Structure 1
């Protein structure tokens, strides 16, 4: 009987190739870097509005009402970073389970596409905000 690579029913699944597992782990680490960068950038953006309000208080004048937008934008970026970390971990664990079951279900482009669309939407919002604030001043 020729060996066509098909598993024999009832036999244990073969061990996954370590290179595949390590590549999946590198992908997880790349997503982790992305999530942490989003969280760090969000923190900086949120604190920048606080800095502007403090500078206005030192100068004894009213802060620009637009400085509160940085809090919301920054908080959104931190939340997006958390979502990326959780989503990438779920995706990684799901892929490892598929390797153990020998189904080799390749993860789809959903997480990357969603993060890209959220960031693009946030970027368009920031451009609109900057234009409105620039035209007001």
Structure 2
């Protein structure tokens, strides 16, 4: 690990965690859009009399949402491992190092809820 005793090392790790956070949000948002695209096509093509089959867009969308959830958890674990190895001089006094962790884990829980909602709603 880095023994520079420089807080910039910690802030770089936190920026990396937040970059993963943005990636997670993008994947989950895109997954939700893909999941709803089947419904959009059904309405646009005017197939109100036919039964609505969700098919490929449902499973691809749910897979993207779950991928975002897994990445949120993995990036949080990686960040926590790195912060644990930093010296006290590399973390500014009084700085709450768990803000990004709480954000990512909240996104993971919301992602699971969104995946379940998408898979079960018709």
Normalised to the residue count of structure 2, the TM-score between the two structures is 0.61
Is residue 2:15 matched to residue 1:26?
yes
Counting only pairs closer than 5 Å after superposition, residues 74-113 of structure 1 correspond to structure 2 as 74-100=61-87
Q: Which of the pair has the greater relative contact order for Cα pairs under 8 Å at 6+ separation?
A: 2
Looking at structure 1, the residues matched to 19 and 66 of structure 2 have their Cα atoms a distance apart, in angstroms, of 18
SS at match of 2:83: helix
Provide structure 1 residue ranges, at least 5 long, that are not aligned to the other structure.
1-13, 102-137
Going from structure 1 to structure 2, the CA distance change for 1:60 and 1:82 (only over 3 Å counts) comes to: closer
If you compute each CA radius of gyration, which structure gives the higher value, 1 or 2? 1
How far does residue 36 in structure 1 lie from its aligned partner after superposition? Answer: 0.6
Q: 1:24 to 1:69 in 2, by over 3 A?
A: same
In structure 2, stretches of 5+ residues that fail to align are 89-122
Quote the residue 1:17 is aligned against: 6
Aligned residue pairs total 86
